[in-house]
Amino acid sequence: MIPPQEASARRREIEDKLKQEEETLSFIRDSLEKSDQLTKNMVSILSSFESRLMKLENSIIPVHKQTETLQRLQENVEKTLSCLDHVISYYHVASDTEKIIREGPTGRLEEYLGSMAKIQKAVEYFQDNSPDSPELNKVKLLFERGKESLESEFRSLMTRHSKVVSPVLLVDLISGEDDLEVQEEAPLEHLPESVLQDVIRISRWLVEYGRNQDFMNVYYQIRSSQLDRSIKGLKEHFRKSSSSSGVPYSPAVPNKRKDTPTKKPVKRPGTIRKAQNLLKQYSQHGLDGKKGGSNLIPLEGRDDMLDVETDAYIHCVSAFVKLAQSEYQLLTDVIPEHHQKKTFDSLIQDALDGLMLEGENIVAAARKAIIRHDFSAVLTVFPILRHLKQTKPEFDQVLQGTAAGTKNKLPGLITAMETVGAKALEDFADNIKNDPDKEYNMPKDGTVHELTSNAILFLQQLLDFQETAGAMLASQETSSSATSYSSEFSKRLLSTYICKVLGNLQLNLLSKSKVYEDPALSAIFLHNNYNYILKALEKSELIQLVAVTQKTAERSYREHVEQQIQTYQRSWLKVTDYIAEKNLPVFQPGVKLRDKERQMIKERFKGFNDGLEELCKIQKAWAIPDTEQRDKIRQAQKNIVKETYGAFLHRYGSVPFTKNPEKYIKYRVEQVGDMIDRLFDTSA
């Protein structure tokens, strides 16, 4: 049971808590009443605000709609006014631009094209909006007149400013074609830059707005003429230079010009002159032999003229490639892309046809030359053909995209030249074999026959054109291997051909040697010719070329030379046999000679003297041009005769076989040697 005091205290504590809770509850109740009041006030305010917003909206929306309408109306008015101004401007285009169109575009192309743009727009407007209006006809007429003026200006600019490329510049360009720096220093400027830009703008306008392609015909006709004239000018330059100075102009020699870059000398093709010069070197060593005759026309006399014509044509071919490349670069700026190939094809036709015609004339002249056995003229085909084949890749590249007929012109010319060249080689070999043995054409002194020198000269010329000549021969082969022949194959063909010519020449020389009645002179003739051939082969690359198919050719010719020397030496037997020991009488020393023995000794002396004098007189007029061979033959013969005569003189010189010894002992041994030393010397 709880004590009373604790219960009283517990009650007071509970009463205090209760009082506090009541106070808290009273506070919460007051707060809720205030919150309710505030809520009612806020709801009242919001309701009032909503009412006012609705009233404002009802007042503003009509005003906004009216404002929008007014703004739209204003914009429509402004657009209408702008359209009216734009339309009205088209009616003034003709009057505003007529003066400019009438005066033309010269000197003010930019302004002129601006006026043409206005006229074009006016035409389009009237066509779309008022096709029956007189204004349309007026601006159309003005547009056509303006277009014609632009076409005329295009022609005028091209005509006035297109210049022929000077021959000197072309020679510089060709001679320096491997020098990139030189090319950059001297580009071909067909048109001044400002003029070119005007031409480009006009061409683009005519294509885009003028719907006109006639200007392309104007372009190619003018540029074609300049291209053709440039090449013809170069050819004429070579002719004039050669006629005045004998040598075509080379930019590497004096007469330098400020506007012409200095170049290395023009690379001239291997022509007849090179072989001529080589044979002149042979003649300085005693190998020249032009006293004989032949129905082969000599290869001298016209080499300068042939060189000039050949050089001129070769340079014209190179110039065409360079100019065509330059023309195509210029054309790509002026002519629309889809018309470029066709226009370029037309542009180059005249110049290309001129080159091909001249090439065909060269082929035709070569055919005629073959008929009359004038092989010097045929030789001009070789450097030209070689150059054409070397230039063909560039030709093919520059003609890429042109018509098939244009592309096939050069291959056709190359084929024709190969055919005529092969014919020339074949006929030359046959002509060497069949050259007639005409007595009046044979050299009286037994020197080198002209047939030999011409044959060697011709073969020497082929050295400069080994691949070309080999290809000519290969082109005539019917075997399948010839269709894709290698350089080794063509080299073997050329070696076989040269051996064939030398073989034919040797057979002909043997036949010709029989014309001589004196076997000794016949031997000298064959010796001179064989020796000439041998030395010519050795002093050039011919011997290496011959050795490709005939390894022993050099040894064979040496044997032929020695054989003819031995044949010649036998001519002295009729002299030395008189005094040879085997034919001399035998007698005892101190024993008086019998009449028969004395007479025999006299006959031996007389026979020797007469034979020596006769041979020396005859053989002095013979010729051995090769100094080394001449001295060798003299020395060998002198040793034989002096030795035999010395022994004979020693044995019988003091024998009393006659009362007049000076009548029979006419020569001392040294005198005999001196007489032999004067053999083969027409000046002695």
Estimate to the nearest angstrom the gap between the alpha carbon of 457 and the chain centroid. 26
Query: Is a pLDDT exceeding 90 seen at residue 377?
Result: no
Which amino acid is located at 234 in the chain? Answer: L
Question: What pLDDT was estimated at residue 86?
Answer: 56
Give the span between the Cα atoms of 105 and 31, in whole angstroms.
98
Alpha carbons 48 and 135: distance in angstroms, whole number: 70
What pLDDT shows up at residue 453? 92
Which residues does residue 260 pair with via DSSP β-bridges, in sequence order? Answer: 257
Given this model, what pLDDT does residue 478 score?
54
pLDDT at 652: 82
Q: CA angle, corner 171, sides to 169 and 175, nearest 5?
A: 120
Q: Which residue has the tokens 């000439």?
A: 532
How confident is the model over 111-136, as a mean pLDDT? Answer: 83
- Amino acid symbol at 418: E
So what's the pLDDT on residue 480? 41
Quote the mean pLDDT of the chain. 82
Name the nearest CA neighbour of 171 among 99, 225, 248, 119: 248
Q: Residue 269 above 80 pLDDT?
A: no
Q: 532-570 pLDDT, tens per residue? A: 999 999 998 899 999 999 999 999 999 999 999 999 999
Coil vs helix vs strand at 486: coil
Q: What percent of the chain has pLDDT over 90?
A: 41
Interval 99-115 mean pLDDT: 87
Confidence at residue 84, expressed as pLDDT on a 0 to 100 scale: 54
Q: How many CA atoms, within 13 angstroms, populate the side-chain half-sphere of residue 325? A: 15
Distance CA 667, CA 672 (A): 6
* Residue 676 pLDDT > 80: yes
Which of 176-190, 547-561, 568-582, 658-672 has maximum average pLDDT? 547-561
Which pLDDT does position 499 carry in this prediction?
Answer: 95
Question: Is the pLDDT score of 606 beyond 50?
Answer: yes
Q: Is the pLDDT of residue 531 over 90?
A: yes
Q: Is the pLDDT of residue 485 over 70?
A: no
Positive or negative, the CA dihedral 103, 109, 110, 112 is positive
Average pLDDT of span 232-247: 75
**How much is the pLDDT for 591?**
66
The string over 286-313, giving b where at least 16 C-beta atoms fall within 10 Å of a residue's C-beta and e elsewhere, is bbbbbbbbbebbebbebbeebbbbbbbb
Residue 280 has pLDDT above 50, yes or no: no
Closest Cα to residue 172, out of 239, 244, 246, 237?
Answer: 237
Q: Which two tokens stand for residue 437?
A: 């043995």
SS3 260: strand
Q: pLDDT > 70: what percent of the chain?
A: 84
Q: Which of 237-241, 296-300, 674-678 has the lowest mean pLDDT?
A: 296-300
- Indicate the pLDDT class of residue 271, thresholds 50, 70 and 90: very low
pLDDT reading at 301 higher than 60: no
CA 134, 138, 144 angle in degrees (round to 5)? 145
Give CA–CA dist 458/497, Å, rounded.
Answer: 12
What confidence tier does 510 reach under pLDDT thresholds 50, 70, 90?
A: very high
Using a 10 angstrom Cβ sphere, with 0-12 exposed, 13-18 middle and 19 or more buried, the burial of residue 499 is: middle
Q: Is the pLDDT of residue 600 over 50?
A: yes
pLDDT digits (tens, 9 = 90+) for 46-87: 888 888 888 887 878 887 777 788 788 777 876 765 665 556
Point out which residues pair with 257 in neighbouring strands. 260
The model's pLDDT over 385-416, given as tens digits with 9 standing for 90+, comes to 999 999 999 999 999 989 999 999 999 999 99
Residue 284 pLDDT > 60, yes or no?
no
Question: What does DSSP assign to residue 265?
Answer: P
Q: Give the confidence band of 261 by pLDDT, cuts at 50, 70, 90.
A: very low
| Number of residues assigned to the chain | 684
pLDDT of residue 181: 42
The pLDDT of 337-348, averaged and rounded, is 92
Report d(CA 571, CA 306) in Å as an integer: 46
Alpha-carbon distance of 103 to 339, in angstroms, equals: 31
Residue 364 tokens read as 């035709």
Residue 679 Rama label (left phi>0; alpha psi -120 to 50; beta): beta
Q: How far apart are CA 433 and CA 427, in angstroms?
A: 10
